[in-house]
Amino acid sequence: MLAVLSSMAYADTNGVPSASGSAVAAANGTQDGSANNDPKQLDVVSVSAKNSARSAVSLSDSEIQKILPGTSPLQAIQTLPGVLYRTADPWGNNEQNTSLFVHGFNGQQLGYTMDGVPLGDQQYGNYNGLTPQRAIISEDVGNVTLFSGAGDLATASTSNLGGSIVTFSSDPAATMGGRFAQTVGSYATTRTYARFDTGHFDGDNAAYVSIMHQDQRAWDFDGHQGGTQLDGKFVHHDKHGTFTFFADYSDKTEPNEDANYHGTAAGEGRMPYTRAFMYPNFQQALSYLGANGAPPAADGNNYRNYYSDAQRTDYLTYAKYEWYITDSITWSNQVYYHRDEGAGVVAGPIQVAGLPALFAVYFPNQNLKQVFGGSGYAIRTTEYDINRRGWLSSLNWDTDTNELSAGVWWEHNRLSQDRRWYPLDVNDPGAATPYARPTDPLITQYEDDARSDVIQPYVSDLWHVTPNITLQAGFKSSFQYADGWYPVQPLPKSTVGVVQYPDGTINSHKDFLPQLGATWDITQHDELFFNAQQNMRQFATANNLSPWSLGSQQAFDIFKQTVKPETAWVYELGLRSQHDFDAGPFTGLDSQVSAYHVNFSNRLLQISPTPVISSIVGGASIIENVGSVTTNGADLAATLHMGEHFSIYNAVSYNDSKYNDNYFSGAVLVPTAGKKVPGSPEWMDKFIISASYGRFSGQLIGDAVGKVYATYTNDLSMPGYFLMSGQLSYALPLDDVFHDAKLSLNVTNLANRKGDYQVSVGAASGTYNTYPMAPRQYFFTFSTKF
């Protein structure tokens, strides 16, 4: 029988765990990196954090790996209430196709950390961080926790208007040993993971080092996603404190799935199920284009590219020392460094989406096909460089009745994003590949440089009023000092909407962002929690909603004087319960119900300069405050236990997020008042059935998503759908040779459903983009310890 583990239990964390993850890890049995993996027992997943004033749900390392070995932390939280996470590959690794919503907030309005280190706002082409799956190997994750309403005051993020997603690495094991896992499966999948733990040495020291290599062919074209990743962790304990060092290297390439264009106006063209790229079939690519490099007119905006990919190389490290000054006072200091070198690459036809006008400015009165190598294709890159360093410090004082905390986060970020165009030589097609960055550009359209400093101090007090009632209050401040400039500007009239990209500084701050929360232990098994908190999202310093992407110095100066950062007040009220009983086959019920209300102010909107979302030609957007959003919603999650070997989990989520105001696009009124926020479904329902018997265990996951609106005016929508996945494992009787040896089978999209799976929103009306459901896929994994 297929099943999923999903037992709900309390994790007594007293708020947010330490950056080492020890608090939550201990609750989940993962503090020393040796979680309870006994295949004869039904695992327990913490999906409610007791004594937290916030709604907090958590997944342990064993639960993450059961969903699919090697899955990303963000893909794993899709099983939690209130979360919609979608991307093109089964592991949740592909970043261009990622869509994430939590309680009506999109992925760029949430906060992300790994062991306390900020990971930025997760935009594709990220300018201030990296994804969790690049920051740490999946199998080395200790747990991931979702604060679905509002993140903790200490969260190092400038984007967490809503909640936060915090990932913790596992600690080294107490005894020397190793781990190994090998996955093979559909579309030539191979994924290899190996880890060596030193165990304790020279007193209370321990470390591990891990390596992972993955490769999978895309299901609808001949592109291979994968790469190599290494990470390691060292921990030293003594009576004075704990020192932790962590390092990660990630080198990955992801051929991208191109989105399907939907439109009520001309340009939709032929509607394929996928827009598969044609690499490495160069002859097919040549025959696809007309004599001047134009794709078939019948394809419209759903023309095919030769290839598209994302290339990312990251170096991340941190060192942290927790000093036990006294039995009740701890001072923690953590420094970190992150470097990213990357590129987004598209090799596409030269006669689409306004490209002839762009190229004609740089090569007037010339044969553009010949200029770009005679193939009819040009290679466009957006080349990224991120150089971040930062410091986190917190002082914690635990008295008999109060837990006082004060701290600060500082980060300096220096970044660049450069847009370049390269030829694709018809006589040397082997030089053009999605697995290497091209050289010797014909055009450098622009170079965008920026630097920023962020400072966020906070103060918090957790007051135990009585043994059953706790109050929590505090505030944080957020200061950003940002400067941007363009060493290379586009030529006049070459880029849509651009007179000249701006230079200049914007300093934005909010001195007082308060938080007030409380918990009340009504009984030994039932706890009421409440939280009210204000958060702010700082201006992006590059990419979509950056004021430095405006098309003139005048527009930038007006923005600087008139536009305000986004803010949100989030209110949560909930009840968490855990009851054991004896009622025939039923032995327990764990549950959490919560309601929330959000007042989201100063909403920023990017008004596209082109009629096609994500047009390859690009251009300068218009960015404006366009009013506010009101959200009301509720989550109900419960696990019904039937003895030690069977449980049923279900999570129902309701979200009603509506725009409160209309806005103007030029002189045209766009009627968005009262319309629902697109991309975020109103209803979601998820179930997980878990079973174990003897050496067998399994899970069945169901995921129902309601209708999703696809434009700001709600004139177009994507229908709802229901998907299932499953897992079955068998513990091998090889204890004399291996430890915890196991064979497992994971199946995605069990029913082999077809349809639109994910929507990309970027227009008021008339058009949207989608990505399709991938077919059923099978993955076999052998894992063991030694």
CATH (domain of 264): 2.40.170.20
Mean pLDDT, residues 715-733: 95
Residue 116, amino acid: G
Q: Are residues 164 and 186 in the same domain?
A: no
Q: Are residues 115 and 198 in the same domain?
A: no
Q: Are residues 301 and 207 in the same domain?
A: yes
pTM of the model: 0.92
Q: Are residues 155 and 186 in the same domain?
A: no
CB-based contact 359:423 (threshold 8 Å): no
Q: Are residues 224 and 156 in the same domain?
A: no
660: number of Cβ within 10 Å: 17
Q: What is the pLDDT of residues 191-250, one digit of tens each?
A: 999 999 999 999 899 999 999 999 999 999 999 999 999 999 999 999 999 999 999 999
**What per-residue confidence (pLDDT) applies to 633?**
97
Its domain, for residue 139, covers: 7-169
Q: Is residue 267 assigned to a domain?
A: yes
Q: Which of 169, 199, 221 is the last residue of a domain?
A: 169
User: What CATH number corresponds to the domain at position 152?
Assistant: 2.170.130.10
Mean pLDDT, residues 531-557: 91
| Residue 367: partners with Cβ closer than 8 Å, 6 or more residues away | none
**What per-residue confidence (pLDDT) applies to 21?**
33
Q: Are residues 93 and 213 in the same domain?
A: no
What confidence tier does 771 reach under pLDDT thresholds 50, 70, 90? Answer: very high
Q: Are residues 190 and 72 in the same domain?
A: no
Q: What is the pLDDT of residues 337-396, one digit of tens each?
A: 999 999 999 999 999 978 999 999 999 999 999 999 999 999 999 999 999 999 999 999
Q: Is residue 243 assigned to a domain?
A: yes
What confidence tier does 50 reach under pLDDT thresholds 50, 70, 90? Answer: low
What confidence tier does 25 reach under pLDDT thresholds 50, 70, 90? Answer: very low
Least confident of 28-37, 250-259, 283-292, 425-434: 28-37
Q: Are residues 269 and 154 in the same domain?
A: no
Q: DSSP letters along 270-332, please?
A: S--S-B---TT-HHHHHHHS-TTSPPPGGGGGG---SEEEEEEEEEEEEEEEEEE-SSSEEEE
Q: Are residues 210 and 153 in the same domain?
A: no
Phi-psi region of 70 (alpha: psi -120 to 50; beta: other; left: phi over 0): left
Q: Is residue 2 assigned to a domain?
A: no
What confidence tier does 4 reach under pLDDT thresholds 50, 70, 90? Answer: very low
Mean pLDDT, residues 641-661: 94
The total number of residues written for the chain in this structure: 786
Q: Is residue 749 assigned to a domain?
A: yes
As for how many domains the chain has, the answer is 2
Rounded CA separation 219/509 (Å)? 46
More confident: 769 or 17: 769
Residue 410 has pLDDT above 80, yes or no: yes
Rounded CA separation 233/209 (Å)? 7
| Mean pLDDT for all residues in the chain | 89
Q: What is the pLDDT of residues 324-336, one digit of tens each?
A: 999 999 999 999 9
Q: What is the pLDDT of residues 252-302, one digit of tens each?
A: 999 888 889 898 655 666 788 999 999 999 999 999 999 999 999 999 889
Q: What is the pLDDT of residues 80-134, one digit of tens each?
A: 999 999 988 899 888 888 899 999 999 999 999 999 999 999 988 889 999 999 9
Q: Is residue 1 assigned to a domain?
A: no
Q: Are residues 161 and 209 in the same domain?
A: no
Q: Are residues 663 and 572 in the same domain?
A: yes
Mean pLDDT, residues 512-516: 97
Residue 749 has pLDDT above 70, yes or no: yes
Q: Is residue 115 assigned to a domain?
A: yes
Q: Is residue 393 assigned to a domain?
A: yes
Q: Are residues 359 and 239 in the same domain?
A: yes
